Amino acid sequence: MGGGEQKYVQEAFDTNWVAPLGPNVDNFEKSITQFVGGNMHVAALSSGTAAIHLALELLGVTRGDEVICQSFTFSASANPIMYLGATPVFVDSERDTWNISPELLETAIKDRMAHGKKPKAIVAVHLYGMPYKVDEIRKITEKYDIPVVEDSAEALGSAFKDKKCGTFGEIGIFSFNGNKIITTSGGGALVSRKEEVKKRAVFLATQARDDAPHYQHSNVGYNYRMSNILAGIGRGQMEVLQERVGQRRFNYDFYKKHLGHLSQLEFLEEPEGYYCNRWLTCVLTPSFEIREKIRLALLEVDIESRPLWKPMHMQPVFNEFPHYSDGTSEDLFNRGLCLPSGSNLSQNDLERIVELILTKI
């Protein structure tokens, strides 16, 4: 926490705005709008997963549709496709940003269309805060006229060509889960250029109540709005967002400076024009065995590190669905490691981790 959060939470208590609406919700949305720029409209929600669910529903995804999803991601990118009764079609990553491969994306679109089904939407992810290939992906999605849900759950504070992540897709989403760069303990947001999309998102997120004095419903709704208490935490957190990005980027620079000379460790660099919030610092090792040697050596002294995300097309829950892969994400999963990356790591913590890795590699 940054320190300012309690003031806003107290305000909510003092004014009795203990509900899923109120001044903190409005002001948290305003501060996100200001931060991302580009006159976007923001709806604060109960989670990033809820935001993806609503985004897909707002794009008209329904039972029997196909939705393309980046395979190399956390399961929450794909689960909402299942909630809607649609079929996920997974697409592998490219090497430069570890995100959805433009070549494989086009192959997948063409192949699905050849099978008689045009994908209804595409979930593209800025994984670990690294922006996906925005220009290349946009070219393809415009060519085939398929909307993008931009999963920026891990990428608040990241940018591509000076434009903030969350503003590139037809609909963008953020997560404020406890492990994210800023948090409301649990929470999310939906971002759109169009005011009516935000209004519709809020309508669906508050049980789809029609405009009537009594309770009248013409749509199935959800209870997905953010609480005014948690939005108070969010307001305080927005005040320290830049500082948090600085701390995460400091971690990356420290690891790179002290471990970057090792031929066995490969860091994910920012291509030109890319600005990564470095939510997590990730490295690639030469083999699964070396990755495990480092991970287990850290674990032995109670330091947690983790393998990279296991691709969705390899997950038992999703492995029956179509996928277009060339082995990239499977290789990243086998050889990659997320190093300790908290915003509160001390110089001493970082030195300890680096020294341990140097002795093990």
Rounded to a whole number of angstroms, the distance between the first and last alpha carbons of the chain is 35
| Residues in Cβ contact with 17 at an 8 Å cutoff, skipping those fewer than 6 apart | 11, 23, 24, 228
* Interaxial angle between packed helices 347-360 and 241-259, expressed in degrees from 0 to 180 and rounded to the nearest 10: 30
Structure tokens at 128: 């670990």
Site pattern 205..234 for ligand PLP (x: CB under 6 A): ------------------------------
DSSP letter at 45 equals E
Q: Which strands make up the sheet holding 274-275, listed edge to edge?
A: 163-164, 159-160, 274-275
Comparison of 176 and 254: residue with beta carbon closer to ligand PLP: 176
DSSP 8-class letter at 147 = -
Pair of tokens at residue 330: 């499977």
| C-beta closer to ligand PLP: residue 93 or 254 | 93
In this complex, which beta carbon is closest to ligand PLP, that of residue 44 or of residue 265? 44
Within 8 A by CB and 6+ apart from 332, the residues are 72, 93, 98, 284, 308
| Rounded Cα distance, 153 and 172, in Å | 9
Task: Give the contacts of 317 (CB within 8 A, at least 6 positions apart).
Answer: 75
Full DSSP string of 166-210: TSSSSEEEEE--TTSSS--SS-EEEEES-HHHHHHHHHHHBT---
Q: Of the candidates 188, 236, 311, 340, which one interacts with ligand PLP according to CB under 6 A? A: 188
Residue 73 is a binding residue for ligand PLP (CB under 6 A): yes
Q: Is 64 left (phi over 0), alpha (psi -120 to 50) or beta?
A: left
CB closer to ligand PLP, 49 vs 357:
49
Least spacing, CB of residue 346 vs ligand PLP, in Å: 26
Q: Give yes or no for residue 49 binding ligand PLP (CB under 6 A).
A: yes
Rounded distance between C-alpha atoms, residue 83 and residue 228, angstroms: 27
Pick the binder of ligand PLP from 24, 87, 175, 325 (CB under 6 A): 175
Q: Supply the minimum distance, in Å, between the C-beta of residue 352 and ligand PLP.
A: 27
151 binding ligand PLP? (CB under 6 A): yes
Q: Does 183 bind ligand PLP (CB under 6 A)?
A: no
| Distance from the Cα of residue 18 to its chain's centroid | 28
Part in contact with ligand PLP (CB under 6 A); list of ranges 69-77, 100-108, 283-291, 333-341: 69-77
- Determine if 70 is a binding residue for ligand PLP (CB under 6 A): no
The distance of closest approach from Cβ of residue 50 to ligand PLP in the complex, given in angstroms and rounded to an integer, is 7
Only segment of 8-16, 151-159, 296-304, 315-323 that touches ligand PLP (CB under 6 A): 151-159
For ligand PLP, the closer of residues 72 and 254 by Cβ is 72
Supply φ then ψ for residue 192, to 5 degrees: -145, 150
Over the window 115 to 134, marking each residue x when it contacts ligand PLP by CB under 6 A and - when it does not, the resulting string is ----------x---------
Dist CA 46 CA 52 (whole Å): 11
Closer to ligand PLP by Cβ: residue 178 or 327: 178
Which listed range, 41-49, 160-168, 328-336, 345-353, lies at the site for ligand PLP (CB under 6 A)? 41-49
Q: Does 47 bind ligand PLP (CB under 6 A)?
A: yes
Interaction between residue 48 and ligand PLP (CB under 6 A): yes
Closest approach of Cβ 263 to ligand PLP, in Å?
Answer: 30
CB of 286 to ligand PLP, least distance (A): 27
Q: Which residues bind ligand PLP (CB under 6 A)?
A: 47-49, 73-74, 76-77, 125, 151, 153-154, 175, 177, 188
